[in-house]
A and B are shown apart, each in its own frame.
Chain A
Amino acid sequence: MKQKKKTFQIFIGITILLLFVILLENLSTFIPGLPQVLSPTSPLFTVLKKAAVYSLVAVSMNLLNGFTGLFSLGQAGFMLLGAYTYAILTVPTAMKDQVYYLFGGCAFDFSLVDMFKGMFGESGFGGAISMILGSFIALILAGCVAGLFSYLIGIPVLRLKSDYLAIATLGFAEIIRAIFQWQKFGPVTNGANMIKGFPTFSDFNITGPSGNVILRLSTFVPFLVSAVCILLIVLLINSSYGRAFKSIRDDEVAAEAMGISLFKHKMLSFVISSFFAGIGGALFAMYVANAQAKAFTSVMTYEILLIVVIGGIGSVSGSVLATFLYVACSEWWLRFLDTEVYLGSFKVPLLRNGFRMVVFSVVIMVIVLFFSQGIMGNHEINFGALLKKFQPKPERKS
C-alpha cells in the first residue's frame, strides 16, 4: 500500500538521521586532526542539541496554533512544568540536601534513578540501565504533569477564542512561573534557585573505567526523543483526529455541524500539545543542566512562536527546518556580529555587543513582511519531489 511505503520511508529516513548524528559527534574521537568544528566542544553540537529540543516544542506549538487554530501562548509554562517534574523526580537522593540547602532538604525524598539503582545495581551496566530508565520515565511523567495541568486550565480557557485565548494562556504561563519561584514552595521547587544534579545529556555518553569517553551520545539522545515525539505528532496529524483538528481550524461552525465536538477535540489538541511541550521542557532542562523558573519566560514562548511563523504555520517540516536555522543563527552563525573586529588599526563599524539582535530583528521583519507564509507555508517537505528535481529530466519526444 502507498501509505505503508511512505511510513516505511520516513522510518528509514529517521534511522539514517540518528545514525548520522552518532557518527558526527564521534568522528573526532576516531579520526584525530579534524577541523575544530567537529570537536565535542564546538558550537555545532550546542546548536544541534538546542535545536533538537526546540524543534519538539515548536512542532507541539504548531499542532495547536497551526493545525487546530487555537492561538495559545502558554508553551513556556508547560515547558516549565515538564522541566521541574523531570528535575524533582531525578535528582539523586544523596544530592538533595546539597541542592535544597536553603530549605533544609527536599520535601520530596525520592528519586526515580535511585529507585532503579536499587533494583539494577549502582554502577556499570546496571547503573546505566537505571539512569536511562529513570530519566525516560521521568520524561514521560513530565509530559503527563504538563498535560494534566493543561486539562485543568483548558476547561475554563478553551471557551475563549483567538486573542482572548492567547492572553489567558500567556497569563497562565506567567502565574505558573511566579508560583514556582515562591519561597513557600521552596522544599519542592527550591524557590527561585535552580535545581541541578539530575542526569543531563552528557551523562548518556558511554565512558570507560577511567572516565574517558568511549562513545558520545549526548547529541543523539535529544535527537532520538524529539524524533520519536515528532513522529507521534505527525501520525496524529495524519489520522482522522488530525483531519478533525484541521476542520476546526478552517471553520468551527461547519465542523460542529458535521458532528465534531469542538470542546473534546480542542481539549485533545491542547492536552497533547502540552504533553509534548512538557517533554520539551524536560529536555531543555537536560540541555542547560539546571531547572530554573527564571528561564521559562514569555520571551521563550515568543521565540518559539517566531520559529513556527518562520517555518510556516501548519507545516511540521517547516517548523523543524526553521528551528535549526533559527538556533544556528542565534547561537552560532551571527555570533561574530557581537565581537569587535579590527582590520589593522581600522575598527569595523557597528560590530559590538548586542548588534546581533539588531540584525536578527531586521531579518525577522523581512521574513514577516515579504514571506508571510514562512519557509514552507502549510506544505511539507516532499523528498520524492526534491529528488526528482535533481534527476535529469527525460527528453521530450515531439
Chain B
Amino acid sequence: MGNALHLENVTMQFGGVVSVNNLTLDVPEHKIIALIGPNGAGKTTAFNCITGVYQPTNGLIEFMGKPMVRNHPSRSMAKTYKGENADKFANEAPLSPTPDEITGLGIARTFQNIRLWKSMTVFDNVLIAKHQHAKQNVFSAVFRGNLAEEKRMREETMELLKEQGLDAYKDELAVSLPYGLQRRLEIARALATKPTLLLLDEPAAGMNPQETAELADFVRLIREKYNLTVFLIEHHMDLVMNISDYIYVIDFGSEIARGIPSEIQSNKRVIDAYLGTTDEEPE
C-alpha cells in the first residue's frame, strides 16, 4: 500500500520565526501514525499546513500520491527565508487549496481546542458536515426539490450518532455535552465528511485515564470500520505508545526522532527534549 500522506521538506516561517523546519514524513495508508513533541514544537502548525489553514513557506504535501500543496519562498520571503532547500520547488507552480477543498479531497480533522458550532444541536453539527457532498443547488434546496437527498443525509447522520453513542443527546446543544462527548462529537462530525485520512489534534486532551483508554479502542474501531488512515498529535504517552504504528517526534519545528513506539521510548534525544537536556549537568 502507498502513502496516504507525504510531506517533503515542509517549512513554515512566520516573519522571522521558523515554526516547522524541513519536515519530511510519510503516513502510510491504513496505519495510525503519531506526531509528538513538547509544547510549542510546531505540531499543530504542521497540521494547519496539511489542512490548508496556512500555506507552508516551502515544501510539498502529497495526498494519495498526488501533489496537494506546494510552495517555495518568493518575494520578500525569499530574502528572509531561514530554512533549507529553498530552491527545491522553485520551478514548480505553487498549489494552495483552501481548507474546504482539502476536506473535499478526503482529509478531515478535529481541533485541539474543541470547535463545535455552539448555537446548534448535536444533530445539526453532524448534518452540516454532510453539506459539501450534497448534490443540491440553492434553488432545489429552497423549493424543496431535494427531499430524498435531505432524508438520506438525515438518516446517515442518525446512524453516525448512534454508532458514537450520541443519539440520546441529538437535540441538545453541542456545548451542553460533557467534555468527553464533545470530543467524540467532533470525531463524528469529521467522519461525516467521508474522509480517507483523519487528523486528530490532541484527541485525549482533558480526558481522564478511563476515557483515554476507551478512546484508543475507539480510534482503532473507526479505522477498521471506515478504512481510515489516522494521523494524530497527542500528549498522553500511554495512548500514543498504545495505538501508534509509527511515531515522529519534533522539537522546535525540526524532526528529532522517528521509529516504532519501543524505539522512541528509549531514544535519548526524545527523553532530553521532554525532560530537559542532560548534557550540561556535571557528572
A240 and B141 within 8 A (CB): yes
- Nearest Cβ on chain A to B16's Cβ, whole angstroms: 25
Q: Could you say which of B98, B118, B128, B150 contacts A258, with CB atoms under 8 Å apart?
A: B128
Q: How far is the CA of A251 from the CA of B129 in the complex (A)?
A: 13
A15 within 8 A of B: no
Mostly helix, strand, loop or mixed at chain A's interface? helix
Q: Could you say which of B119, B150, B192 contacts A378, with CB atoms under 8 Å apart?
A: B119
* Residues of B77-116 contacting chain A, CB below 8 A: 98-101, 103-104, 108-109, 111, 115-116
- Nearest Cβ on chain A to B20's Cβ, whole angstroms: 19
Q: Could you say which of B108, B115, B119, B134 contacts A240, with CB atoms under 8 Å apart?
A: B134
B51 and A257 within 8 A (CB): yes
A232 within 8 A of B: yes
Q: How far is the CA of A251 from the CA of B119 in the complex (A)?
A: 10
Using a Cβ–Cβ cut-off of 8 Å, how many residues does chain B contribute to the interface with A? 38
**Contacts between the two chains (Cβ within 8 Å), count:** 106
Q: How far is the CA of A268 from the CA of B131 in the complex (A)?
A: 15
A250 and B141 within 8 A (CB): no
Which residues on B sit within 8 Å (CB–CB) of A119? Answer: none
Q: How far is the CA of A55 from the CA of B19 in the complex (A)?
A: 51
Which residues on B sit within 8 Å (CB–CB) of A247? Answer: 117, 120, 128
Q: Could you say which of A240, A250, A261, A263 contacts B153, with CB atoms under 8 Å apart?
A: A240
In this complex, the interface size class of chain A, counting residues with CB under 8 Å from chain B, is 20 to 34
Which residues on A sit within 8 Å (CB–CB) of B142? Answer: 232, 235-236, 239, 241
B117 and A260 within 8 A (CB): no
A109 within 8 A of B: no
A338 within 8 A of B: no
Q: How far is the CA of A348 from the CA of B132 in the complex (A)?
A: 64
* Residues of A236-257 contacting chain B, CB below 8 A: 236, 239-241, 243-244, 246-247, 249-251, 253-257
A262 within 8 A of B: yes
A256 and B131 within 8 A (CB): no
Closest to B110 in A: A257
A251 and B115 within 8 A (CB): yes
A243 and B124 within 8 A (CB): yes
Q: How far is the CA of A258 from the CA of B189 in the complex (A)?
A: 8
Binary contact readout A43-68 vs B (1 if CB under 8 angstroms, 0 otherwise): 00000000000000000000000000
Q: How far is the CA of A261 from the CA of B51 in the complex (A)?
A: 14
- Nearest Cβ on chain B to A195's Cβ, whole angstroms: 32
Which residues on A sit within 8 Å (CB–CB) of B150? Answer: 240
A384 within 8 A of B: no
Which residues on A sit within 8 Å (CB–CB) of B98? Answer: 256, 261-263
Which residues on B sit within 8 Å (CB–CB) of A263? Answer: 98
Q: How far is the CA of A260 from the CA of B146 in the complex (A)?
A: 18
Of A240, A241, A247, A257, chain B has the most CB atoms within 10 Å of the CB of A257
B118 and A251 within 8 A (CB): yes
Which residues on B sit within 8 Å (CB–CB) of A250? Answer: 117-120
User: What is the interface of chain B, defined by CB distance below 8 A to chain A?
Assistant: 51, 53, 98-101, 103-104, 108-109, 111, 115-120, 124, 127-129, 131-134, 136, 138, 141-144, 146, 150, 153, 189-190, 192-193
Query: Apart from A244-B128, A254-B117, what 9 extra A-B contacts exist at CB < 8 Å?
Result: A236-B141, A246-B120, A251-B115, A253-B111, A257-B109, A257-B111, A258-B132, A259-B103, A314-B119
6 pairs of residues in contact across A and B, judged by CB atoms under 8 Å: A236-B138, A243-B131, A249-B119, A251-B115, A256-B100, A260-B128
